[in-house]
Structure 1
């Protein structure tokens, strides 16, 4: 049997506590598994909001809280973020119970 490490991401349109939980459930169903090894918040901003909208921070916090809950339940084995800048990471670290296991970022210029 071959070992597989399963990673999935939360789309910007799925930010928020309930939407995040639903997105994880949809990933589990699509992947036909009962756990995900690593789940990342794909982008620090939510779809449909202006870049300076203060709701981004609350949606990030709510999404992270949902991931922490799913981690505690064993549905997720590790949680992290992707494309977060230093300010986003600092906000998260100031309020989270579990620090991100992964900070995925690009290592090449665009």
Structure 2
């Protein structure tokens, strides 16, 4: 929708009040993709694209961090195996009974 086609339905001084109003509209099942928060004197328009639930928001924040941790964990384990001379690792968790060999890159 173009800027000329927008209709002002409310004005708020702090942005937090505008965000609360959008949250309220979303709770009332108003189609969020039709809402925009426009700041005066700014060069940015925040377009609401829809509602995101708690689970999706948590996953979208946690997934990149978990991936980076996994990559650095593998890197650190490989360096440790090379420096110490112990290429096989196993978990300390009770009931876990597997081992990984970094030389052969296989479960042993």
| TM-score, normalisation: structure 1 | 0.26
Higher relative contact order (CA 8 A, sep 6+): 1
TM-score (norm 2): 0.27
